Chain A
């Protein structure tokens, strides 16, 4: 019998969306799924977890030293629990990527990063070389430790279940790392990885001011705003806007790339979007090779026109 442990990503009160995609990956493997909610005063997140249909049990752990989700402390807890499971899964977010290799090493097992497909309980598909290739790999480890690419698995329903919540004792703190502070980007717009539409700008935007044109469009169509690495490095927007091999992975229904050339490292983060639109003044830009709709033109002329056209549009 396979028993799977899914590590919930949460802010103590609520679950992060990527957890639901990870649950779907676990379901595709098959077996009894338990969800671990480790934090401090995290009854809210545990209650939300219990409502996911098909979860057999929620394990809730509360301790001061889990308040900041430090990988050093969480890994000790999870490695301790893992002995009862065949698979341990977490989302391939910065939370999961920081944590799961640490868990795997404590268990003396290998780890599978960023899976995009489940063939069977020990065979998985994952991208390599910036997504330019897909590798099918078989894992012979006694416990299979996995991070799951959210865009590759549909979100599980968040209502309808009623799993029991069991309280589990904390592991002792490791005491090597201290949380100092956090600086989070706040935005009224949808979260990048969960947005239905993403509007992204590159070096062509020229400045942070240039991004205002994009934000205007984004707000008219309910989109999140993203960026290429060049735009982030130039300081136009904060680092957590970055989409690509080393940034966020998105696969919205509509992705609009503006002033982005289409380097493979950028494509790695968005080429699974349903519809891709590219706006670029260079008709040779590689982004056009994967765009469903290409518009060759100067963005400083096109974006105001696009904005005006959107204003004319009758409500859908």
Chain B
């Protein structure tokens, strides 16, 4: 069983970002970049399936600038076997990413594809569902537990009211939610080993995908700031304010 995992390079979740001065986008020059946190969970899950003896090979793929190699190496250090970079300077929309991943799926023929549920830069939460649609496969979106069988995968999904369990025919697409697992801490020897693992680079053209865009960003701005209010001394003062001043209780 082969698993393909998609990892995106994004601004580290601890970094506060700002709009560019002209409002044309987000200022990301010289900002710390990392693997999208949900994708770390996706890689971890694939590695655990391999450790359980259910998966035999893990291929990780990233689409973006050449520095995406760093997140691919990080995934290799976690335990992935091989990496593919689809190199482009464009920041493709989820539909285009899904088309590129579909082309990789056709080359690699994995039994399972795991993505993060959401990239924390665009907050789109789309790519996995789109990939599943393009392939005509089942989708286990927002997964918090996987049970991988021979023909089927059982997925517990996080939904608004609680949890839902579905069984998907393999091959299938999964998107990882936060509680699927806790990614491991990578040890130095594994980082060294990862440097020797294969990393192939392709162009979107090699995959026959045109980088069309349907969205134009007209403006990026910070939302109106909330001002800090006042401190109250105790519960009695708080209740009085809420009752008499703002009348919410």
Chain B hits for A97, CB < 8 A = 125, 129, 141-142
| A:229-250 near B, CB below 8 Å | 229, 232-233, 238-240, 245-246, 248
Q: Across the interface, do B220 and A135 meet the contact criterion of CB distance under 8 Å? A: yes
Listed by A's residue number, 13 A-B pairs whose Cβ atoms lie within 8 Å are A101-B129, A110-B214, A129-B17, A137-B215, A138-B218, A174-B136, A178-B168, A180-B167, A193-B160, A239-B158, A240-B160, A254-B242, A293-B231
Q: Across the interface, do A141 and B172 meet the contact criterion of CB distance under 8 Å? A: no
Q: How large is the interface on B (under 10, 10 to 19, 20 to 34, 35 or more residues)?
A: 35 or more
For the complex, give the distance between the alpha carbons of A210 and B72 in Å: 42
Q: Which of B177, B226, B234, B248 contacts A305 (CB 8 A)?
A: B234
Q: Across the interface, do A233 and B179 meet the contact criterion of CB distance under 8 Å? A: yes
For the complex, give the distance between the alpha carbons of A111 and B124 in Å: 9
How far in angstroms is the closest Cβ of chain A from B58?
Answer: 23
Is residue B198 contacting chain A, with contact meaning CB distance below 8 A? Answer: no
Q: Hey, what's the 0/1 contact readout for B130-173 against A, CB within 8 Å counting as 1? A: 11111011110110100000000010011111111111110010
Q: Which of B134, B167, B226, B234 contacts A177 (CB 8 A)?
A: B167
Q: Across the interface, do A293 and B129 meet the contact criterion of CB distance under 8 Å? A: no
Q: Hey, what's the 0/1 contact readout for B221-245 against A, CB within 8 Å counting as 1? A: 1110010111111111011011100
Q: Hey, what's the 0/1 contact readout for A200-219 against B, CB within 8 Å counting as 1? A: 00000000000000000000
For the complex, give the distance between the alpha carbons of A137 and B241 in Å: 40
Q: Across the interface, do B159 and A94 meet the contact criterion of CB distance under 8 Å? A: yes
Chain A hits for B246, CB < 8 A = 254, 275, 292
For the complex, give the distance between the alpha carbons of A183 and B161 in Å: 8
For the complex, give the distance between the alpha carbons of A95 and B157 in Å: 11
Is residue B120 contacting chain A, with contact meaning CB distance below 8 A? Answer: yes
| B:164-207 near A, CB below 8 Å | 164-169, 172, 177-179
Is residue A66 contacting chain B, with contact meaning CB distance below 8 A? Answer: no
Which stretch from A70-78, A81-89, A162-170 is at the chain B interface?
A70-78
Chain B hits for A180, CB < 8 A = 154, 165-167
| Minimum CB distance partner of B122 in chain A | A128
User: A135-B219, A137-B217 are known contacts. Are A239 and B144 too (CB-CB below 8 A)?
Assistant: yes
Q: Across the interface, do A111 and B249 meet the contact criterion of CB distance under 8 Å? A: no
Report which residue of A97, A130, A131 has the largest number of chain B beta carbons within 10 angstroms of its beta carbon. Answer: A97
